Amino acid sequence: MTLKFNKRQLQAYFVCGTQDVPGKDLETIVQTALDAGITAYQYRDKGASQLTAPQRLALGRRLRQRCAAAKVPFIVDDDVELALALNADGIHVGQKDDQVTTVLQRVAGKIFVGLSCSTVAEIEIANQIDGIAYIGSGPIFPTTSKADADPVVGLAGLRQLVKVSKRPIVAIGGITVQELGPVAHTGAAGSAVISMLAQSPDIEQTVNAMLAVTEVRP
């Protein structure tokens, strides 16, 4: 049984793979973040990751179990077959991944689907596609966690995307604790972060900062 999507899951959204925590144990970091109260976890293991496909599947199974125990949605990045094999709650795809319509047909309502949109034109196309649960927009600020990131969107650009989107938007890219409030004031439903949590000296304190931000009703 998978968790149904709810926009409140976007408030404190942790995105992380082994490549983001070199020399550390991803499971321990994710469990610490779950214990602190993250509202969603995305398994995004790619790029500099050293895992083989079997290792990625085995680790995914353990992370999926930890999220299920915490009743926090477990979302897989990019790979719809991995998402289905792990009985994930959701999958997130970008503009350069499989077509979102193909992914929606493949998952057939079994798991929710998030889509990356960083321009008004991309949002307007997404608005016409039934079945998309949420939008991930960014990079809002410069980021070093994604080598092929789109141009920086900025807070004004994010506000514009929120205004035209029919679905809730989670902001991503270069977000620090200081920027959580300004991001929320654009009307975004939350922040998705890699380094702010993966590199935090106090994950519990950082998650509390994410949870303390109240969404501004647009």
Ligand X SMILES: Cc1ncsc1CCOP(=O)(O)O
Q: Which residues are catalytic?
A: 44, 116, 146
Beta strand segments in 28-127, E: 40-43, 74-77, 90-93, 112-116
Asked if residues 215 and 184 have their Cβ atoms less than 8 Å apart, the reply is yes
- Nearest partner of 78 among 66, 89, 90, judged by Cα: 90
> With binding defined as CB under 6 A, does residue 195 bind ligand X?
yes
Amino acid at 8: R
3-state secondary structure of 45: coil
Instruction: Indicate the residue among 149 and 211 with the shorter CB distance to ligand X.
Output: 149
What binding mask, one character per residue, do residues 52-91 give for Mg ion by CB under 5 A, x or -? --------------------------x-------------
Among 123, 153, 172, 207, binds ligand X (CB under 6 A): 172
Amino acid at 198: A
> With binding defined as CB under 6 A, does residue 146 bind ligand LCLJCK34?
yes
Residue bearing tokens 């439903």: 189
Window 26-65: residues binding ligand LCLJCK34 (CB under 6 A): 42, 44
How far apart are the C-alpha atoms of 54 and 198, rounded to whole Å?
A: 24
Q: Footprint of ligand X on this chain (CB under 6 A)? A: 15, 138-139, 143, 145-146, 149, 172-175, 193-196
Q: Footprint of ligand LCLJCK34 on this chain (CB under 6 A)? A: 13, 15, 42, 44, 77-78, 92-94, 97, 114, 116, 136, 146, 170, 172, 192
